[in-house]
Amino acid sequence: MTIKMTLVLNTLESGDCSEQIKALFADKNEEIEIINTADLKIMHCMGCNNCWLKTPGICTIKDEYEIILKKLVSVENFWVVADTKFGFIDYRGKRVLDRIVPMLNMYIEFRDGWERHQLRYHPLNFGFIYKGNGNRELLEEWSMRVARNMAGRSLGVISLDKDEAQENIAEMPPETAATPIENVALETAATPEHIIIINGSPRVKKNSNTNKIIQAFAEGLEEAGITHKLYSLSNHAEWDEAREAFMTNDNIIIAVPLFVECLPSLLLEFLSTLPTERKQPAKLSFILHGGFDEGHQLRLGEKFLQSLPAQLGCSCGGVLVKGGSFLLRNRENSYIKKMTDKMLASYTKMGLSFARNGSFSTPEAQKFTGPEKNPKIGVILFNLIFKRIVKKNFERMAQEWGCTRPLNDKPYLAQQR
């Protein structure tokens, strides 16, 4: 019988709960390796896309995450152990998952009816072990989505805290009932005059698709006479001011790209540094966008965002959801430029709509997402015609980026155990 290899990344402070974690795997016929990531230097993914388009399979960030990538190419099961914040995996845990992207390549295909990136190596099963007040339903769905992206199955979600009663309480955003400021906030912020916009993408502002979306959206706000101030979290020097603005303004929009099925670890870190008690009410709304164009790719992220305002002492101004933003990155091609001009113009319209309604909780905003899923005929046409065109486009882009290796290169395969 072949023995399965399992990698467990313990992202808790200084390998916390090590014995408890070992005990979980004690009776499994698997070769287990547990790595305490608190002992390693691991940075946030900065969304540069070099691991797909410039140095396929190799991350540009030269920290100690490469140790993990080299191990992942020879395991079947991958577990992450993390603390929870806002009912979800905390930023330290999410950080090791955002960095997993080199395990996929740039090429796109349909798997189980969803748009997916091709695997660079082999399928990977994924499981999540957590500490603290996690929203179990959310975490289970998220783990399943992560596993499917890797063409594997979910190994499940396990709580390290035995108090089940406590866990059930955590399934509801805890502050919802205790902070009844929703109506006050809606009244005071229904017709905004000034809006704080936070770009939650880790990608530098000049390359950020979120920034392009914000600029288009803000044109709509300006047309309606609303001013705004933008903060970009990719620039750490703006964090203090962004925090101050978050705490002292009554109308805030966070615009954010989907990263591994939910928020980027960088934004999760920023949010976890905010005080939870506010002196004045505020309305918090979101623009959530992602690379793939199907609406359902973004629904888990949307669900999480809907639970956030109450946990930050704010009322919820809704979530504007749209996919297909990857195309905004490269607008030199005239066909892509035409398509993306149209997309950006639609964001300007949504800026005007937000100015009129003071929220994204409108039928107009709901319609904005577009189709949840590609129709069967779309999938057939993609496989017959568009797949090759898209592939060529990616290869052309890679050439422009100075890439000298095939996009489906497997740089760590030779180093397998």
Ligand X SMILES: Cc1cc2nc3c(=O)[nH]c(=O)nc-3n(C[C@H](O)[C@H](O)[C@H](O)COP(=O)(O)O)c2cc1C
Residues making contact with ligand X (CB under 6 A): 45, 47, 98, 101, 201, 203, 208-210, 257-261, 289-292, 297, 323, 325-326
CB of 208 to ligand X, least distance (A): 4
| Identity at 280, one-letter amino acid code | Q
CB of 115 to ligand X, least distance (A): 8
Return the half-sphere exposure (C-beta side, CA atoms, 13 A cut-off) of residue 290: 25
| CB-count exposure of residue 361 (10 Å: 0-12, 13-18, 19+) | middle
Candidates 170, 80, 106, 186; CA nearest to 132 is 170
CB of 31 to ligand X, least distance (A): 28
Query: In whole angstroms, what is the distance from residue 34 CA to residue 10 CA?
Result: 7
CB of 60 to ligand X, least distance (A): 11
- Tokens 């009776």 correspond to 27
> Nearer to ligand X by C-beta: 129 or 267?
267
> Nearer to ligand X by C-beta: 58 or 247?
58
CB of 301 to ligand X, least distance (A): 8
> Nearer to ligand X by C-beta: 290 or 309?
290
- Tokens 């920023």 correspond to 270
Query: In whole angstroms, what is the distance from residue 97 CA to residue 417 CA?
Result: 22
CB of 167 to ligand X, least distance (A): 26
| Identity at 191, one-letter amino acid code | T
Q: Are the CB atoms for 259 and 289 separated by under 8 Å? A: no
> Nearer to ligand X by C-beta: 133 or 201?
201
Q: Are the CB atoms for 129 and 21 separated by under 8 Å? A: yes
Q: Are the CB atoms for 44 and 113 separated by under 8 Å? A: no
Residue with smallest beta-carbon separation from ligand X: 290
- Tokens 């070992």 correspond to 22
> Nearer to ligand X by C-beta: 77 or 232?
232
> Nearer to ligand X by C-beta: 257 or 351?
257
